[in-house]
């Protein structure tokens, strides 16, 4: 939770020099008691500014940082406590130090801590000794640095993910994405403005052309009082199951029956007792409908365990811990069973992993569930990886993670976001087996992922960087201009005085465009680096815009400075990893070129004031702020082949039902390097494409036969097939159309 009483909102505004040590500690203790671990860490840090060597306070602050996922800060504080205390007063300090080093990706340091723990705790039956043994295996995995190129993971964009917390994504029977989210209005310090409405609720969103629809909360009675999360459906779609946590009670699984206009009131499931139960998942095993769930009830090895029972509507029979080697003395949670592959996905913080919770798989064979397999990176990483879901028919999965790259305002690993991952089709049947990697296809997908983020918009304050300058370059980078711009939000609010609508609009602009643009840029850079590390030559076309407060020639220079700030950021980000690609010195031949396409006032939107005295409309309005931007609008591969089609559409005329036609389409390579055809995609089974050879030499051609089976409804029809290439363009679509008689 991220709740702060009103008193704290007033007192926190003052510097630590104006508060006593006891006041800071009292505020920290109160925040911890209320579940606001991030707020507690800030208050304890204020107290440590006054008495930095106080060990009990270092412990309290370390605990608050650990519980709010501030891994590096927590590790440093635990290390100080351990060096002073030597496990006398705080015997868990060394254990938490090792865990925090792992969660921060510091595997060498974590390895040292685990070995020290094994030296001090020689009891092989103790919880910490067993965990340390698995922790060392996890460190070895992390140091090996293996990752699967046959998987690619994407961070779902807003409005699915926000600066709050999103988790537990699953596709429903209606093909919509369902998720759980903790959402509330935050100020610039990450403090909740309206605590009464700050709770977890169930949302849904639809993927559509150009992005995702705004996530909408399910209406009452599903999202009633308390917190509601973790949806699942009965196999016949009659019941919606989810976790309900009342304001003053134990979390339990409930069921809402589908009605004509939604869902009925939630009912508690019979047969689960009164213990803590959560994270329902319904699946078919053999001829039975089973409910998998997580629970802390007695009967398992300890902590949170995986349970399963036979499900009949709102009744669960024979609930028991999942048998086999899956449950541990630690925590296992988030079960998801895929009936097609007979594989159980789940998360654990005890089995050997890369840090925090990792996702594991276990195949259900003739003797039951087999030992769990850690799929490694990129599914798992140092931070928490939770809520796996998988569709064997498409090879697509979902997961929840607070990994670096998630949207966050309280540190880069504070909050959970939803991620989607894609498994190569040949790996779907047996999860964990790794065939030879088709690097050409992976490169194509990576470039496709880059292009899907376009246009990528980055925003600037008025006349920044380099105000009142005619220079065309700058030494500032975009991270610096972004931080300076974000710090001006109070000024933008103040410009609207008591106009609440105007203040709300500008706050939304900073949240949804300025902050989101910077987060998108960092996501983009991660994919870009992978392409460059493969030796690809990539060209970015960046266009500049400016609000009309100066002459067009001045604005052109300003746009050039803004584009240069982005180039500077590319050169400095990730410790300069992209700099060799920018200056042409990369050993693998990879190259990154930025083409500047600046515009000035002549491209500014109509209706934006160009009157300097009208600051509200010319500087501080959303319309004006929207114009002060640059856009990455194209991603080109400069050393790619060039493929063209002689024709891309053919009229088949009038056809009788079942009348088949095969249409040859010709592709030509007009470039100076071979073109490889990666495969085809069709919108229906009635139209398919056959590829003979898949390589077109420079100056050569190749015929693609598109076959139509004549099975479409009567009337006018249009069908298409897309051929994917490793060249420019990345895909070419062939279309056939005609009229089908009765």
Token couple for 443: 């490169």
Looking at residue 4, its pLDDT comes to 36
Containing H/E element for 101? helix 93-103
Looking at residue 120, its pLDDT comes to 92
Query: Percent of the chain scored above 70 by pLDDT?
Result: 85
Task: Decide if pLDDT at 433 tops 50.
Answer: no
> Cα dihedral sign for 437, 438, 444, 449?
negative
Token couple for 376: 């490694």
d(CA 459, CA 353): 39
Token couple for 235: 């196999």
> pLDDT: is 431 or 105 the higher one?
105
Looking at residue 605, its pLDDT comes to 44
User: What are the C-alpha distances in Å from 21 to residues 5, 16, 64, 92?
Assistant: 19, 9, 17, 26
Containing H/E element for 443? helix 439-452
Q: pLDDT tens across 347-380, in order?
A: 999 999 999 999 999 999 888 899 999 999 899 9
User: What are the C-alpha distances in Å from 672 to residues 484, 646, 676?
Assistant: 46, 18, 13
* Among 628, 527, 508, 620, residue whose Cα is nearest residue 158: 508
> In the chain, what is the straight-line distance between the N-terminal and C-terminal CA atoms, in Å?
62
In 454-586, where does DSSP find H-type helix?
478-486, 489-494, 500-509, 516-533, 552-576, 579-583
d(CA 493, CA 485): 13
* Among 529, 538, 523, residue whose Cα is nearest residue 576: 529
Token couple for 650: 């053919």
* Among 446, 447, 474, 470, residue whose Cα is nearest residue 460: 474
* Among 311, 349, 288, residue whose Cα is nearest residue 232: 311
Looking at residue 197, its pLDDT comes to 56
d(CA 557, CA 548): 13
Containing H/E element for 103? helix 93-103
Question: What residue has token string 């005619």?
Answer: 470
Average pLDDT for 697-726: 84
**Choice among 141-150, 296-305, 389-398 with the minimum mean pLDDT:** 141-150
Looking at residue 362, its pLDDT comes to 94
Looking at residue 310, its pLDDT comes to 95
Task: Decide if pLDDT at 443 tops 70.
Answer: no
d(CA 143, CA 437): 22
d(CA 656, CA 639): 46
8 Å CB contact between 629 and 460: yes
d(CA 569, CA 592): 13
Looking at residue 677, its pLDDT comes to 82
Half-sphere exposure of 644 (CA within 13 A, CB side): 6
Looking at residue 588, its pLDDT comes to 87
Looking at residue 65, its pLDDT comes to 95
d(CA 274, CA 281): 19
Give me the residues paired with residue 361 across strands: 345, 373
Looking at residue 564, its pLDDT comes to 95
Q: pLDDT tens across 446-479, in order?
A: 566 676 677 899 999 998 999 989 998 999 999 9
Token couple for 327: 């449950």
8 Å CB contact between 400 and 419: yes
Token couple for 628: 């002060």
> pLDDT: is 131 or 681 the higher one?
131
Q: pLDDT tens across 24-83, in order?
A: 999 999 989 988 898 899 999 999 999 999 999 999 999 999 999 999 999 999 999 999
In three-state form (DSSP H/G/I as H, E/B as E, the rest C), the secondary structure along 667-686 is EEECCCCCEEEEEEEECCCC
Question: How far is Cα of residue 209 from the mean position of the Cα atoms in its chain?
Answer: 19
Looking at residue 623, its pLDDT comes to 86
Half-sphere exposure of 319 (CA within 13 A, CB side): 25
Quick one: pLDDT band at residue 609, thresholds 50, 70, 90? Answer: very low
User: CB within 8 A of 696, min separation 6: which ones?
Assistant: 641, 643, 667, 668, 669, 674, 675, 676, 677, 702
8 Å CB contact between 113 and 101: yes
Token couple for 537: 């030559």
8 Å CB contact between 417 and 401: yes
8 Å CB contact between 337 and 322: no
264-294 burial, b at 16+ Cβ within 10 Å, e below that, comes to eebeebebbeeebbbbbbbbeeeeeebbbbb
User: What are the C-alpha distances in Å from 130 to residues 122, 296, 328, 366?
Assistant: 10, 20, 10, 29
Task: Decide if pLDDT at 260 tops 80.
Answer: no
8 Å CB contact between 30 and 44: no
8 Å CB contact between 558 and 601: no
- Read off the DSSP letter of residue 556: H
Looking at residue 567, its pLDDT comes to 96
pTM: 0.58
Average pLDDT for 658-668: 89
Quick one: pLDDT band at residue 6, thresholds 50, 70, 90? Answer: very low
Looking at residue 184, its pLDDT comes to 60
User: CB within 8 A of 576, min separation 6: which ones?
Assistant: none
Where are the strands (E) in 198-249, listed by range?
199-205, 207-208, 211-212, 216-217, 227-233, 239-245
User: CB within 8 A of 215, min separation 6: which ones?
Assistant: 159, 160, 179, 181, 203, 204, 205
Token couple for 670: 């007009």
Q: pLDDT tens across 565-599, in order?
A: 999 999 998 788 899 999 989 998 889 999 988 56
CB atoms within 10 A of CB 138: 25
Token couple for 195: 């605590």
8 Å CB contact between 706 and 662: yes
The DSSP line for 7-43 is HHHHHTTS-GGGS-HHHHHHHHHHHHHTT-HHHHHHH
d(CA 221, CA 612): 52
Looking at residue 220, its pLDDT comes to 86
Query: Percent of the chain scored above 90 by pLDDT?
Result: 43
Report the mean per-residue pLDDT for the chain: 83
d(CA 47, CA 149): 47
Does 651 sit behind a cis peptide bond, omega within 30 degrees of 0 on the bond before it?
A: no
d(CA 567, CA 582): 9
Looking at residue 694, its pLDDT comes to 79
Average pLDDT for 254-269: 89
User: What are the C-alpha distances in Å from 218 to residues 201, 203, 228, 571?
Assistant: 8, 6, 10, 45
3-state SS assignment for residue 74: helix
Looking at residue 484, its pLDDT comes to 93
Looking at residue 428, its pLDDT comes to 43
Average pLDDT for 196-204: 79
d(CA 282, CA 233): 6
d(CA 211, CA 190): 27
d(CA 699, CA 671): 7
- In order of start, what are the domains of the chain with their CATH numbers? 6-144 (1.25.40.10), 159-430 (2.115.10.20), 452-637 (no CATH), 643-740 (2.60.40.10)
Quick one: pLDDT band at residue 185, thresholds 50, 70, 90? Answer: low
Looking at residue 108, its pLDDT comes to 94
Strands 649-655 and 731-740: what pairing? parallel
Task: Decide if pLDDT at 613 tops 70.
Answer: no
d(CA 39, CA 54): 19
Q: pLDDT tens across 105-138, in order?
A: 999 999 999 999 999 998 989 999 999 999 999 9
Task: Decide if pLDDT at 602 tops 60.
Answer: no
CB atoms within 10 A of CB 122: 8
Quick one: pLDDT band at residue 604, thresholds 50, 70, 90? Answer: very low
């Amino acid at each position: 939770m991220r709740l702060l009483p009103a008193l704290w909102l007033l007192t926190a505004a003052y510097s630590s020099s104006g508060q006593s040590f006891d006041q800071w500690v009292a505020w920290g203790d109160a925040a911890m008691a209320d579940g606001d671990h991030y707020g507690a860490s800030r208050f304890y840090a204020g107290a440590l500014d006054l008495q930095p060597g106080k060990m009990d306070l270092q412990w309290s602050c370390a605990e608050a940082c650990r519980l709010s996922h501030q891994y590096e800060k927590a590790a440093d504080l635990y290390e100080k406590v351990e060096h002073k205390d030597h496990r006398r007063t705080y015997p868990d300090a060394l254990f938490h130090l090792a865990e925090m080093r792992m969660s921060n990706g510091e595997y060498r340091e974590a390895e040292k801590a685990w070995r020290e723990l094994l030296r001090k705790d020689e009891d092989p039956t103790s919880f910490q000794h067993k965990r340390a043994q698995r922790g060392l295996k996890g460190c070895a995995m992390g140091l090996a640095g293996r990752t699967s190129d046959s998987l690619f993971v994407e961070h779902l964009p807003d409005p699915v993910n926000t600066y709050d917390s999103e988790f537990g994504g699953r596709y429903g029977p209606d093909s919509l994405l369902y998720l759980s989210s903790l959402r509330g209005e935050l100020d610039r310090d990450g403090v909740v403005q309206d605590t009464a409405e700050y709770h977890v609720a169930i949302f849904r969103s639809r993927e559509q052309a150009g992005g995702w629809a705004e996530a909408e909360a399910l209406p009452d009675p599903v999202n009633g009082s308390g917190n509601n999360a973790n949806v699942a459906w009965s196999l016949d779609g009659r019941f919606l199951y989810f976790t309900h946590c009342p304001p003053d009670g134990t979390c339990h699984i409930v069921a809402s029956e589908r009605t004509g206009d939604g869902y009925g009131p939630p009912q508690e499931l019979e047969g689960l007792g009164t213990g803590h139960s959560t994270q329902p998942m319904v699946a078919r095993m053999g001829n039975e409908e089973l409910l998998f769930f997580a629970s802390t009830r007695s009967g398992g090895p300890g902590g949170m365990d995986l349970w399963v029972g036979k499900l009949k509507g709102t009744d669960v029979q024979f609930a028991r811990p999942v048998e086999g080697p899956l449950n541990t003395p630690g925590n296992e949670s988030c079960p998801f069973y895929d009936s097609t592959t007979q594989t159980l996905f789940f998360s654990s913080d005890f089995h050997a992993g890369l840090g925090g919770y990792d996702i594991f798989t276990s195949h259900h064979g003739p003797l039951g569930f087999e030992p769990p397999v850690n799929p490694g990176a990129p599914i798992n990483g140092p931070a928490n990886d939770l809520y796996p879901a998988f569709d064997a028919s498409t090879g697509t999965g979902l997961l929840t993670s607070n990994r670096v790259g998630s949207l966050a305002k309280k540190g880069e690993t504070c909050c959970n976001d939803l991620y989607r991952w894609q498994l190569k089709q040949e790996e779907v049947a047996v999860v964990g087996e790794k065939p030879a990697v088709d690097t050409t296809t992976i490169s194509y997908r990576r470039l496709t992922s880059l292009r899907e983020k376009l246009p990528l918009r980055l925003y600037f304050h008025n006349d920044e960087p380099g105000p009142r300058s005619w220079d065309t370059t700058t030494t500032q980078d975009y991270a610096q201009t972004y931080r300076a711009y974000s710090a001006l939000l109070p000024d933008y609010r103040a410009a609207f005085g008591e106009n609440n609508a105007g203040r709300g609009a500008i706050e939304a602009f900073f949240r949804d465009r300025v902050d989101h643009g910077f987060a998108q840029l960092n996501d983009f850079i991660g994919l870009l680096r992978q392409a460059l590390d493969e030796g690809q030559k990539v060209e970015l076309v960046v266009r500049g815009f400016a609000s009309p407060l100066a002459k067009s020639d001045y604005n052109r220079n300003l746009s050039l400075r803004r584009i240069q700030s982005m180039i500077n950021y590319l050169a400095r980000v990730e410790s300069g990893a992209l700099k060799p690609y920018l200056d042409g010195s990369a050993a693998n031949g990879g190259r990154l070129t930025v083409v500047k396409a600046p515009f000035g006032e002549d491209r500014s939107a109509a209706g934006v004031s160009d009157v300097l005295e009208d600051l509200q409309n010319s500087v501080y309005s959303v319309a004006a702020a929207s114009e002060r931007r640059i856009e990455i609008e194209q991603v080109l591969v400069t050393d790619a082949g060039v493929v063209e089609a002689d024709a891309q559409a053919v009229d088949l005329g009038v056809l009788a039902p079942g009348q088949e036609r095969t249409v040859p389409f010709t592709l030509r390579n007009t470039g100076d390097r071979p073109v490889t055809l990666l495969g085809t995609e069709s919108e229906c089974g009635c139209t398919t494409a056959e590829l003979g050879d898949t390589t077109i030499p420079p100056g050569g051609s190749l015929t693609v036969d598109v076959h139509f089976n004549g099975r479409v409804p009567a009337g006018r029809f249009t069908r298409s097939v897309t051929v994917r290439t490793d060249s420019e363009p990345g895909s070419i679509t062939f279309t056939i159309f005609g009229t089908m008689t009765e």
